Amino acid sequence: MDAVLFDFSGTLFRIESAESWLRAVLSDAEVPLPEHELSRVAEELEAVGALPGAAPHAVPVPAGLVPLWSERDRSAELHRAAYTGVCRQVALPAAELYDALYDRHMSPAAWRPYADAREVLRTLRGRGTAVGVVSNIGWDLRPVFRAHGLDAYVDAYVLSYEHGVQKPDVRLFAAACEALGADQRATLMVGDDRRADGGAAALGCAVHFVEHLPVAERPDGLRPVLDLVARGA
């Protein structure tokens, strides 16, 4: 394989829990909330899908937000509007917390790399395999990689909001292959979303899926990638 493309959230990194997310924002804003209320609100935020990068939400997106939600990764403005929009389904003790929650999820402190991410990226780099990150996202994730010491192993970042297209549109995968100088037929896409990341197959890329699980529950989900690359997928 010439190159491996990785999704970001749920693949290389996992966002903090909804309770940790809410607790951090309340602490920074110095807004008190009883512990039982904090847990309840965190559960409601998670259910409506207000935490970007979390596992799929349980409550359907309100009809009025569906058009925005479907296009949310095409720009920074759409991304913020979509997530703060669903967040406003949950009553919070202060109006400024909706934007504060959105801002928190962009912080490197809100993210943890999967346990085997460094090993896999470092090994690929050592083998001379090009590495790209292809993400549906509305903000610059490069600082997250730098803060966690993984930026040195990534050759190119192709982010939906910077290109105005989102996975599964093949143009995003094509841009990544072009940035890496890689033949799409010798490129492997690794992700957790069968629809979005699976779009790479239409370009001719091989595709491998991982499970979107908490970090502690997926210690070695990325290691099979090394065998796939060695065998030519």
- Do 160 and 9 form a contact (C-beta atoms < 8 A)? no
Model confidence pLDDT, tens digit, residues 82-110? 999 999 999 999 999 999 999 999 999 99
Model confidence pLDDT, tens digit, residues 139-148? 999 999 999 9
**pLDDT at residue 56 in the model:** 74
pTM for the complete prediction?
0.95
Residue 233 has pLDDT above 80, yes or no: no
Model confidence pLDDT, tens digit, residues 167-225? 999 999 999 999 999 999 999 999 999 999 999 999 999 999 999 999 999 999 999 99
Model confidence pLDDT, tens digit, residues 7-66? 999 999 999 999 999 999 999 999 999 999 999 999 999 999 999 998 777 788 999 999
**pLDDT at residue 162 in the model:** 98
Q: Can you tell me the mean pLDDT for 123-148? A: 97
With CA atoms as reference, report the closest residue to 145 among 118, 115, 179, 176.
Answer: 118
**pLDDT at residue 58 in the model:** 74
Residue ranges of domains in the chain, CATH in brackets? 3-14+111-231 (3.40.50.1000), 15-110 (no CATH)
